[in-house]
Amino acid sequence: MSLRELLKEPKGKMIYRRDQIFLLHVFWEAPDITAARILLEALGRCAKATHRDTPCVATYHFRICSLSSAVISQEPKTVREHAQLQAALKKLKFGVPRSAVLADLRRRAIDTYLLDLDQETPLPNHMQQTPVMLEFTELYLDERAFYEHAGSKDYLDAYGEVMQPKLMNRQATVCVGSPTAEIKEKILDPMLKAISQPIPEGCHLWRAPKTAPETSLFISLEAPGTVDGVMQTLPLGLLENSTTCLAFPHPLLHGRIRIICIITKLLCEDELQAIIDARFEGVEIHCPEEHLEILSQKVAKFGSMVDLRATQSGYAVHESAGLVKQE
């Protein structure tokens, strides 16, 4: 389908093919907090268009994640320590034309003269900023939803801002599920270099909520070990109540397992206690702003063991996703 056809295609379809469900989880390092905020604002506009047009994109959630602090690059002080300058030098080493490398630096708002300085030269003060790790989670119920969620002018305008080279140091993408061969060959493999992971035993990518969602909580957990070992410690109630429950090896941290659970009901104190008792090394919960106060009261007794935050950009569960039907 051409872009023109995609823009004209009727939106809001409520049917999907279950054999094509897949999830993307992206670790995206922005060069500084300003870049991270620009990303979240633009992604919020992408999410608004996606929410309006494609109920079969069940999750479209973007955030700064405290669990990723261990993989954030250090604040660069010299040319040698600056990720984007080093990437440019590597391109030159491998024969990329200098004119192309310099043009890319300009798109990243980086002064090109820095490329020719000694590696130990201090960077200008405005470039000595601490990077920020963001995480994106996107759940597509089929190929059509993947293509059609981008089929509007307002989405494409916002996405153009997201893809500004200056907003990214590096990214790592995990793909779980059954994307079609076309999506893998055209996008996931060549563009995202996505790492494919299986759906572990006991996990599920999508289980439609049986009742109208009470809320939408995005829960991130992290622990050392293996996927099977970590899943055995997951509280049964969390597993049973999740629309999505998934564990996979962290692509940037060897020996670490990330678990994501999305639920549509407010957690009670006993459920929070069960999560704490499982002794995960990291627990982060994102919730809608309107439920932040009530959850804060429940989380308060656990002190710093739970990092509770308001949803920053996008949505954890589309409120109409439970109404869509399989073809």
- DSSP string across 42-83: HHHHHHHHHHHH-TTEEEEEEEE-GGGGGGSPPPP-BGGG-H
Question: Greatest CA separation found in the chain?
Answer: 62
Question: Which tens digit of pLDDT belongs to each residue from 294-323?
Answer: 999 999 888 888 999 999 999 999 999 889
Distance CA 325, CA 317 (A): 16
| pLDDT higher than threshold 80 for residue 72 | yes
**Rounded mean pLDDT, 193-205:** 96
- Beta-strand pair 313-315/307-310: unpaired
Kindly list the structural domains of the chain, giving each domain's residue range(s) and its CATH number in brackets, ordered by start.
3-73+129-322 (3.30.70.100), 79-127 (no CATH)
Bridging pattern class, strands 242-249 and 307-310: unpaired
SS3 of residue 92 by DSSP:
helix
Is 282 within 8 Å of 68 (Cβ atoms)?
Answer: no
Q: Is pLDDT above 90 for 4?
A: no
Instruction: Name the token pair of 97.
Output: 């034309």
Unique residue bearing structure tokens 């998934």? 246
- Smallest CA-to-CA distance from 26 within 313, 320, 228, 287 is with 313
User: Of 21-25, 56-60, 121-125, 155-159, where does mean pLDDT reach its minimum?
Assistant: 121-125
pLDDT average, residue stretch 127-156: 96
